[in-house]
Chains A and B, each alone.
Chain A
Amino acid sequence: EVQVVESGGGLVQPGGSLRLSCAASGFTFTEYWMTWVRQAPGKGLEWVANIKEDGSEKYYVDSVKGRFTISRDNAKNSLYLQMNSLRAEDTAMYYCARGIGGYYDNWGQGTLVTVSS
């Protein structure tokens, strides 16, 4: 069964850092782009970043460039999102999803990040 499971969310102060993880199973991780999408409380979906199968290409939404870093460890079937200089507006549920052929077909349950003092 294809599964992606996020972890690492929590409460952090403004200016702080957090590292999210996404553990993948049930598919050949190295054959898929992976992405992070977030959803602020009561709001819509916002694409955050994605990374190519071998990690050679990474793309970000402007609002997180220079603060967030997406990475992957193909030996561990894992995706990461390092988030630095966190702001209140980064408060959201963060979803991991796998991508292929121009669409994202399997999504995790999400991990909640709250940025507050």
Chain B
Amino acid sequence: IVMTQTPLSSPVTLGQPASISCRSSQSLEHSDGNTYLSWLQQRPGQPPRLLIYKISNRFSGVPDRFSGSGAGTDFTLKISRVEAEDVGVYYCMQVTHLPHTFGQGTKLEIK
């Protein structure tokens, strides 16, 4: 399954919203009815960190300015108001199909 993210780079003004799109080459809906699409954040020099799982569920400790949506093959991560600590690379990841695959990553930077 190929995961395609857009844009690959996103310069954003502090306090403004940001949006990242992720499209899969096949539906990510599993036979059990779940859609195993996650979003991860990787800050500079840090390991990945889970933000969102199963499309729209925020992981423990993740600020509510992060939200996920979508279905089937099209998914979106939104940040309602970007803060300085949000700088980094964001990846979508699917675990519905083997092998598990990631998007190329979207670099979020401050204008």
* Chain A residues in the interface with B (C-beta under 8 A): 35, 37, 44-47, 50, 59-62, 95, 97, 99, 101-110
Contacts and interface: CB of A to CB of B under 8 A. Distances in A.
Contacts of A105: 50, 53, 59
Interface stretch (B16-24, B73-81, B100-108): B100-108
B38 A46 contact: no
B27 interface: no
Given A102-B30, A104-B38, A107-B48, A47 B100 contact: yes
Contacts, number: 61
A103 B48 contact: no
Which secondary structure dominates where chain A touches chain B? strand
B63 interface: no
Given A102-B34, A103-B53, A62 B99 contact: yes
A10 B104 CA distance: 26
B38 A95 contact: no
B50 A104 contact: yes
19 contacts: A37-B48, A44-B91, A44-B102, A44-B104, A45-B40, A45-B48, A45-B102, A45-B105, A47-B93, A59-B99, A97-B48, A99-B95, A102-B30, A102-B53, A103-B36, A104-B38, A104-B95, A105-B59, A109-B47
A99 B100 CA distance: 12
Interface residues of B, number: 26
Nearest to A61: B99
B102 A46 contact: yes
Contacts of B99: 47, 59-62
Nearest to A59: B98
Contacts of B105: 44-45
B99 to A, nearest CB: 5
Contacts of B104: 44
Q: Which of the listed residues A50, A62, A108 has the most CB atoms from chain B within 10 Å of its own CB? A: A50
Contacts of B43: none
Interface string B24-36: 0000001000101
